[in-house]
Copies of this chain bind each other. A is one copy, B any other.
Amino acid sequence: MSNTIGNIFRLTTYGESHGAAVGGIVDGFPAGVKIDVDFIQSELDRRRPGQSAITTARAEGDKVEILSGVYEGVSTGTPIAFEVRNTNQHSSDYEEMKNLYRPSHADYTYQTKYGVRDHRGGGRSSARETISRVVGGALAKLALREKGICIAAYTSQVGSLKLDTDYKKYDLSKIESNIVRCPDSEMAEKMIELIKEVKNEGDTIGGTITCVIKGTPVGLGEPAFGKLHAQLGAAILSINACKGFEYGMGFDGVCGRGSQMNDSFISENGKISTKTNHSGGIQGGISNGEDIYFRAAFKPIPTLLFEQNTVNKAGENAIIKARGRHDPCVLPRAVPIVEAMAAMVILDAMLMDRCAKI
């Protein structure tokens, strides 16, 4: 509900862009997991602003501190709280926005819903909230790693520059080899060029991220409303700027016939698998042991460096021009966020599945 996600493994987050800190509490994290704080920090660094020429110039340090739930480097089963202090906030950049609603931002809806809002840097609706997701996801990854499950996401489309939808055509070990996080280095070059071009125009551009989860056992996911892909979908769609989610054959698959899309089972040496994987590793909402993969759409973020029509708090028509330092394209920094959300859902489903049988 609201600021908590998960059933057994549960992350609750807090924090405004220009408040004292952002952070969260992970409850239900299993005891006995080795907690590698350097790894958690390295995941945050993948999300960090200012990491490359195609992200925002804001240089946030974003150092995570673990406050509880870990003793002598091992999780104790009690809540793991963490925080990242906000240090490089320029609230004055936002002074003008106190009384103006930025188009396609959350200013107007927050103000109307709550009757009050912290306008600085977008307040709670700022993408700084995703810091907490990355930390929660890093913790989940540490637990999943012990179970042989790994998760990799990559930028699969920027504007109209689009990879083939079949992730098997790419070498996922190359994702981190370029700043746009695309496993195809040729396409990566083009994407980087496009983002720079858009940036120079003061404009922004969207794209898609593909995520692949390998090593899941058969049985993750719950019937009816707790289907694994419904949980993944909710988690991914809750990321700022996300506009769509599809898994397996997705939207393109609707054009095919059932006879083309069905995944035949085969048995080899006592191991059951499927010949194809149009299902995306999930059948009836439950993982079938094949790779799970999905794709998420991210809109061009709405902060533009030129004038736009809008209204102010008094309900009068007005002109707004954003200042501050912003990403021309959210995709490269959203890659670790997508992975984090997927990791938390999968770990939670793994824990839930332990209760399926007497």
In whole Å, how far is A233's beta carbon from the nearest beta carbon of chain B?
4
In whole Å, how far is A148's beta carbon from the nearest beta carbon of chain B?
12
Given contacts A79-B3, A227-B237, A299-B253, contact A31 B67 (CB under 8 A): no
- Determine the chain B residues whose CB is within 8 A of the CB of A301 once the complex forms: 258
Q: How far is the CA of A275 from the CA of B113 in the complex (A)?
A: 21
- Determine the chain B residues whose CB is within 8 A of the CB of A254 once the complex forms: 157, 159, 206-208, 243, 297-300
Stoichiometry, as copies per complex, reads 4
Determine, out of A49-57, A116-124, A167-175, the stretch whose residues face the partner at the interface: A116-124
Kindly state the interface size class of chain A when it binds its partner: 35 or more
A308 part of interface (Cβ distance < 8 Å): yes
Q: Which residue of B lies closest to A160 (CB)?
A: B255
Q: Which residue of B lies closest to A144 (CB)?
A: B358
CB–CB B103/A3 < 8 A: no
Tell me if A's interface is mostly helix, strand, loop or mixed. Answer: mixed
CB–CB A14/B67 < 8 A: yes
- Determine the chain B residues whose CB is within 8 A of the CB of A310 once the complex forms: 264-265
A15 part of interface (Cβ distance < 8 Å): yes
Q: Pick the residue among B13, B201, B249, B311 that contacts A79 (CB under 8 A).
A: B13
In whole Å, how far is A325's beta carbon from the nearest beta carbon of chain B?
15
CB–CB A10/B1 < 8 A: yes
- Determine the chain B residues whose CB is within 8 A of the CB of A101 once the complex forms: 265, 272
Q: Which of A16, A218, A229, A355 has the most CB of B within 10 A?
A: A355
A324 part of interface (Cβ distance < 8 Å): no
- Determine the chain B residues whose CB is within 8 A of the CB of A317 once the complex forms: 266-267
Q: Which of A12, A260, A317 has the most CB of B within 10 A?
A: A12
Q: List 25 A-B contacts (CB under 8 A).
A: A2-B225, A3-B27, A15-B81, A22-B68, A30-B357, A31-B357, A33-B358, A77-B356, A79-B124, A101-B272, A105-B284, A110-B284, A114-B357, A125-B223, A125-B284, A160-B255, A204-B257, A204-B258, A208-B254, A225-B238, A243-B251, A258-B302, A264-B308, A264-B309, A272-B311
- Determine the chain B residues whose CB is within 8 A of the CB of A28 once the complex forms: 1-2, 355
A278 part of interface (Cβ distance < 8 Å): yes
CB–CB A1/B222 < 8 A: yes
In whole Å, how far is A70's beta carbon from the nearest beta carbon of chain B?
8
Q: Mark A1-45, 1 if CB is under 8 A from B, else 0.
A: 111110110101111100111111101101111000000000000
> What 17 new A-B contacts, CB under 8 Å, besides A14-B27, A101-B265, A248-B299?
A12-B79, A14-B68, A15-B67, A32-B116, A76-B124, A104-B261, A106-B285, A109-B218, A124-B224, A203-B258, A243-B253, A243-B280, A246-B251, A254-B298, A260-B300, A265-B309, A266-B309
CB–CB A238/B255 < 8 A: no
Q: Mark A295-316, 1 if CB is under 8 A from B, else 0.
A: 0011111111010111100011
Q: Which residue of B lies closest to A101 (CB)?
A: B265
Q: Pick the residue among B71, B243, B274 that contacts A247 (CB under 8 A).
A: B243
Q: Pick the residue among B1, B110, B226, B253 that contacts A3 (CB under 8 A).
A: B226
